[in-house]
Amino acid sequence: MPRPATTSSSALSTEGFLSDLWRQSIVPTLCDFIRIPNKSPSFDPEWTSHGYMHKAVRLLAEWCEATSGITGKSVEVFELPGRTPTLLVDVPAFAGGSGNILIYGHYDKQPEFSGWRSGLSPWEPVLDGERLYGRGGADDGYAVFAALAAIAALQAREIPHGRCLLLIEGCEESGSFDLPHYMTALRKRIGVPDLLVCLDAECGTYDRLWSTSSLRGMLPGVLSVNVLTEGQHSGAAGGIVPSSFRILRSVMERVENAATGALHDCLHVQIPQVAREQIRAVAELLGEDVLRKFPWAPGAEPEEADTYLALLANAWHPSLATTGIGGAPLPQDAGNTLRPATSVKLVFRLPPTLDANTAANAIRLVLEDNPPYSAPVSFAVETPQTGWYAPETAPWLNTAIQSASQRHFGKPSLAMGMGGTIPFLRMLGKTFPLTQFLVTGVLGPHSNAHGPNEFLHLGTALRLSACVGDVIAALKKT
């Protein structure tokens, strides 16, 4: 069961209040959350029968209910038929505060992945100093705790704030295909947000508040090449039957230059000058740490050694990852057989302003048209997601972000584009063009969301929570 919050003294500083709350209540509950293997639906098609998703959302809801000191809050697990449950925590305006604030996070998780260090595992939490290891702690289980803690800290010090609605979804790691249904069903509950706080983004370092100004889109799909109906002796078939893998290589070369990594022209956009300036400032601050944060194999080198160009490519250029291969046994199990087919899971990351459906149609045509040897080639597209580019930040929000970062981190905030995808931001930005955004998070160097050894940096999460509270309190409707 969740540990209820016990800190209630308004005399405590924000940091003191949050420190007690995280130590006594949040960290123990986060450990329980990490132990639940509630993989996102794309990675666990039997999620309903396994029950892990419901167990995870109940744990979070029970913690929210048990956390005291928040006036008038309501906690609800809202579930549409056949859809992953969504957690809603509705906190009315406090002490005369005004405005409508929507706070977003997700609780579904990526799969285990291999390569966890000795003593670490995805489903058993390990606390090492300020690092809490385990799947889903940083991406994005901490979000509901940080958000509600921020609100509790404001009310403990009797600081006014507007109405806050926490929306924590269970399908983000699968492309948020459930979310549009919830956005429609909850339209009246959500209203028109004046401010959206998203807690599922990256941070360039752990020593300041980072905000995200753009996110790339995503185009996932499975590319398949079929040549035979069954495998054949490689000696008997070689020279007569073309290799499905060679055909696949040839087809992929149409969209990605294997020598340079350059992608098809249809995947590029014009980069705004303000985005270039933001990225240049970040490159000057971080320097070679931009490249060093990855666990390079001995002798391996990055695609781009210039940190500015590397960051620009990560935020605004398309990229392609082959994340899975089908039709091939492991090397130790492979015989002298010419395989009948090869398939690969491709994930294109798209520039923030490129329409994902347009890109999907163009890439499918390029891959499938006029295949070598007339072999059946198909590209099965999965849930294209258009990226997001933030509207211009209002002066009040810029002032609040900078003030919060200085107060709680002792350093100014920085903004930059990030290479990942959060479908919710595009949905909300398209529906509510006047909404202001604070997109931030704890996924910093080596935190390794989606991979082995994922960790949550607890000190950063606590300070970020304090910053979120300051920004919420700064919203004043006129």
Specify whether the CB–CB gap between 69 and 156 falls below 8 A. yes
Q: Strand, coil or helix: what is 349?
A: strand
Q: What is the rounded CA–CA span in Å between residue 452 and residue 433? A: 37
Tokens found for residue 292: 């060093």
- Domain 217-268+317-381 falls under CATH 3.30.1330.100: no
What is the maximum span of the chain, computed from C-alpha positions, in angstroms?
83
Closest alpha carbon to 380 in 176, 175, 225, 180: 225
Q: Judge if pTM exceeds 0.85.
A: yes
Domain boundaries, the chain: 14-215+389-474, 217-268+317-381
Tokens found for residue 115: 């390569």
Q: Strand, coil or helix: what is 165?
A: strand
The values of phi and psi at residue 415, to 5°, are -120, 145
Q: Residue type at 93?
A: A
CB burial of residue 462 (10 Å; 0-12, 13-18, 19+): buried
Q: What is the pLDDT along the chain (478 residues), one digit of tens a residue?
A: 455 444 433 335 888 999 999 999 999 999 999 999 999 999 999 999 999 999 999 999 999 999 999 999 999 999 999 999 999 999 999 999 999 999 999 999 999 999 999 999 999 999 999 999 999 999 999 999 999 999 999 999 999 999 999 999 999 999 899 999 999 999 999 999 999 999 999 999 999 999 999 999 999 999 999 999 999 999 999 999 999 999 999 999 999 999 999 999 999 999 999 999 999 999 999 999 999 988 899 999 999 999 999 999 999 999 999 999 999 999 999 999 999 999 999 999 999 999 999 999 999 999 999 999 999 999 999 989 999 999 999 999 999 999 999 999 999 999 999 999 998 899 888 888 999 999 999 999 999 999 999 999 999 999 999 999 999 999 986 5
Specify whether the CB–CB gap between 135 and 454 falls below 8 A. yes
For the structural domain made of 14-215+389-474, what CATH number should be given?
3.40.630.10
